[in-house]
Amino acid sequence: MENYSVCQLQKGMRYEGFLLVRSAEKRKDSKGADYVDMNLADRTGEINCKVWNWDPEAEAPAVGGPLKVRGTIQEYNGRLQLRVEKWRECTPEDPVNMNDLVACAPRDPQEMLAELRKTAEGFQSENLKRLTLGMLEAAGNNLAWFPAAQRMHHAERSGLLHHTTDMLRLAEGLLTVYPWLNRDLLLAGVIIHDLAKIDELKSDPAGNVADYTRDGQLLGHLVRGITNLNKVAEETGVTGECVILLEHMLLSHHGESEFGSPKPPMFPEAEALHWIDIMDARMNTMKSVTDKTPPGAFSERIFSLDRRVYHPLYGEEDS
């Protein structure tokens, strides 16, 4: 049996492969028997599936994880449907490539996590080291796969780490040009600036964001980041100016009140953090738009940029 992507499936095909659970619900059929109605997806599309005669004691599969499934493609009311004959949850041994199933950051999450921790452990300031490591600790395991956004930039599995590690590298470039900046403070700000997105967004482990949380709606990640920092400071016993400097960097990193920061950046490291953040978001958006636009053509109007984007030929025409 060949490997098909979801977008290649046709009526009557046999299918076996790995798919991601987008939604799953236990229901009863007309005779009162249990079945499960699921939407499974890979990166190319989504298909509705039925698993008949479900064990009444068993839960429906968890949303966000990959399954191994086998079955037949049928058509119902004009739409394709996978009738599942066999399925199981994946094991570490399964040759699943998450990047086939969902947009993923280009680097390994554990490697990126390790980079953040190593950077913090190298700080000369004992206080900033304790605060930053404490914040990473508090963020917990979800940090490994959390996306940076619902749409827009870095809306991908482990997008939060992708965004943060790219910003670390931008910050290193900046420190070369402006060596008078306080290195520990800038890097600490980069590492913690978006961690409270984990409190702000409802995401499944595949990086799909369903909505904002109550915290996200009523407070947002800037302010929740500050209360999280206060807890870590209390637990680690850190006091002094460095706490309020980081509080301010969290609060001001969106730069202006119309983008959610009630205070603009008021010292050099806060200013630098803001520009590194916006630059990485914008370059990521630009790349994903030009990737989808043929050379020599313009994209449609991109909502988050409020403009159309041109994909240059870069001298191909000159030769």
Question: Which residues contribute to the site for a copy of itself (CB under 8 A)?
Answer: 125, 127, 166, 169-170, 172-174, 176-178, 180, 182, 185, 214-215, 217-220, 222-223, 226-227, 230-231, 240-242, 244-245, 247-248, 251, 257-258, 260-264, 266-269, 271-272, 275, 278-280, 282-283, 286-287, 290, 298, 305-315, 317-318
23: helix, strand or coil = strand
Which of 88/263 has CB closer to a copy of itself?
Answer: 263
CB of 198 to a copy of itself, least distance (A): 16
Distance CA 161, CA 167 (A): 10
* Residue 316 burial by Cβ neighbours in a 10 Å radius (0-12, 13-18, 19+): exposed
Longest Cα separation, the chain = 74
Q: Which is nearer to a copy of itself, 88 or 202 (CB)?
A: 202
**CB of residue 54 vs a copy of itself: minimum separation in angstroms?**
29
What are 25's strand-pairing partners?
37
Query: How far is Cα 21 from Cα 46, in angstroms, rounded to an integer?
Result: 10
Q: Residue 133 Cβ, how far from a copy of itself at the closest point, in Å? A: 17
Closer residue to a copy of itself in complex, CB, 84/188 = 188
Q: Which is nearer to a copy of itself, 50 or 129 (CB)?
A: 129
Rounded to a whole number of angstroms, the minimum distance from the CB of residue 209 to a copy of itself is 15
Please give, one letter per residue, the 3-state secondary structure of 48-99. Answer: EEEECCCCCCCCCCCCCCEEEEEEEEEEECCEEEEEEEEEEECCCCCCCCHH
| Residue 58 CB partners (closer than 8 Å, separation 6+) | none
Residue number, 57 or 241, with CB nearest to a copy of itself: 241
